[in-house]
Amino acid sequence: MAQAPSTSIAAELVGRIAELKKLQACLRAGKNVLLEGPVGVGKTHLAIAVTQELKRPVFRIDGDNRYSEQKLSGWFDPPTVIKKGFSAESFIPGPLVEAMKVGGVLFINELNRLPEGVQNVLLPAIDERMILVPRLGEIRAKPGFLVIATQNPKEFVATSHLSEAILDRFELVMIQYQSEEDEIEIVSHKTAELEGSKKSKASLSLASVRLIRATRVHPRIRRGASVRAAISMAQIATVLISDGATFEEAFLAAALMALPTRIEIEREMDSEQSIHAEIELLLKEMSESVLSDLNSDGVKKKL
């Protein structure tokens, strides 16, 4: 009989029941899991929540093209080596070895940002459950050792392709954008503690979500925004309204602060100044369209 996600973890992750069930099934089967999806869809949050439920030690690393093989597996401390030689006492274990020794979880955020050489260090650990440390010998993983990793799609900046050998050792769980209803619920929850009228915050949540969803399908936008941008927009606009700004002023100002760093447009101009001006003009047009639709729906008239 399938085991449903616990009430506590499901409540934290709006609209992720299907993904939760897949991820938990893989982990209960003792499989390593790769979560793939756009920036800001909650891959890291989902992974961390599930690892906490496993009640095992978790060791995290964040993908970086400067991350080294030694930092992952471990290194020898020079002063201790001088005193005691290359021994277990002089060896400082990295997160991979630490996770293996205690049967814990190695969580790798943005795996495809790690250099290929570092990725290759993982192969024997996740395939044969052992690694060979020069001058120290073989280290075997205790029962319970697992790897959970996330990656952004290949087309994103600063990412690389994972080798077939690495991919073959992972089960893939795709994380897509949530529904509009789920995203509105997330944004509403994040603005609940801020001062302001409930009706105003509800309208801001709706407008912010509609705008970020519009960025994902706009022909001039290569990469749209996630719900993270909608959260920032709604929070900033709520504060601006409490300081005396009108709904329209606050919404547009918040959009111009929250979205430029979270979208990529199809560039038609060369200079950075022109690109910023183009983004600002585009966002103004889109924001006005969203506000017009809200007025047509009678949402803002009720405020």
The rounded distance, in Å, linking the Cα atoms of 122 and 73 is 9
DSSP 8-state secondary structure symbol assigned to residue 298? T
Per-residue confidence band for 153, with pLDDT thresholds at 50, 70 and 90: confident
The rounded distance, in Å, linking the Cα atoms of 206 and 198 is 12
134 has pLDDT over 70: yes
Residues 160-215 pLDDT 10s: 678 899 999 999 999 999 999 999 999 999 999 888 889 999 999 999 999 999 99
CB 39 within 8 A of CB 227: no
The rounded distance, in Å, linking the Cα atoms of 205 and 107 is 32
Residues 251-269 pLDDT 10s: 999 999 999 999 998 866 5
CB 294 within 8 A of CB 207: yes
The rounded distance, in Å, linking the Cα atoms of 41 and 225 is 10
Residues 17-45 pLDDT 10s: 899 999 999 999 999 999 999 988 989 98
DSSP 8-state secondary structure symbol assigned to residue 6? P
For residue 301, count CB atoms less than 10 angstroms from its CB and return exposed for 0-12, middle for 13-18, buried for 19 or more. exposed
The rounded distance, in Å, linking the Cα atoms of 27 and 33 is 8
Tokens of 116: 């290929």
Per-residue confidence band for 242, with pLDDT thresholds at 50, 70 and 90: very high
CB 62 within 8 A of CB 152: no
CB 228 within 8 A of CB 262: yes
pLDDT in the model for residue 277: 87
Domains of the chain: 7-174 (3.40.50.300), 180-302 (1.10.8)
Per-residue confidence band for 276, with pLDDT thresholds at 50, 70 and 90: confident
